[in-house]
Amino acid sequence: QKEVEQNSGPLSVPEGAIASLNCTYSDRGSQSFFWYRQYSGKSPELIMFIYSNGDKEDGRFTAQLNKASQYVSLLIRDSQPSDSATYLCAVEGGGSEKLVFGKGTKLTVNP
Amino acid sequence: DAGVIQSPRHEVTEMGQEVTLRCKPISGHDYLFWYRQTMMRGLELLIYFNNNVPIDDSGMPEDRFSAKMPNASFSTLKIQPSEPRDSAVYFCASSSSRTSGLYEQYFGPGTRLTVT
């Protein structure tokens, strides 16, 4: 059973701080990793993807991947109240066409 | 493009009734996924289609659930008979292996199902 684990939170940070969201996965064969954002009552929305070890930056978001440790993270710099949402980590299932989702980490950014 | 369209947005039904959820994927997308989301279990993949053909239905919880995709622009998820434990938000998502990428899935707004 392929698993994706996330700290459910809630994670609370002050406005302007760095929010760090973490995810571990069980399938060493996984090659593609995704972060989805889900606002309360809304559908998941893709915000970042990463395929190679290291960091990938997009605006205030940085995705980090360490395949040896089977660890993915998402950093949000200069956090804004509008970043308050649940962040879902998703992992491609080792050659499968499916994504396996973690249960998500709820982030609250306090003004 | 209008994005993924789902209907109805909300469905309240009594136990034992048949429920049909509908989805229209983004035009040109060749993959369609049905998910169920609950607080306890998170987002679970039920079934997915490639070019209208069901590829993997291992996530379908039991025989009460069935899904079809008669053409590239329409899919249904049917629950018969429905039970209270089926209460959840059901999402449809689509992706394109030719353009944005197989794993870059675009989700519809979801159908919130309540079975009493």
Phi first, then psi: give them for residue A40, nearest 5 degrees: -55, 125
pLDDT tens readout for residues A66-109: 999 999 999 999 999 999 999 999 998 767 788 999 999 999 99
| Side chain identity, residue B90 | Y
Closest approach of chain B CAs to the CA of A63, in angstroms?
16
Residues of B in contact with A102 (CB under 8 A): 42
CB-nearest partner of A43 from B45, B103, B110: B110
Instruction: Tell whether the torsion through CA atoms of B2, B75, B59 and B80 is positive or negative.
Output: positive
User: Which regions of chain B are under pLDDT 50?
Assistant: none
Phi first, then psi: give them for residue A76, nearest 5 degrees: -115, 115
pLDDT tens readout for residues A21-72: 999 999 888 889 999 999 999 999 999 999 999 999 999 999 999 999 999 9
The confidence score (pLDDT) of residue B101 equals 73
8-state DSSP, A68: T
pLDDT tens readout for residues A3-18: 999 987 899 999 999 9
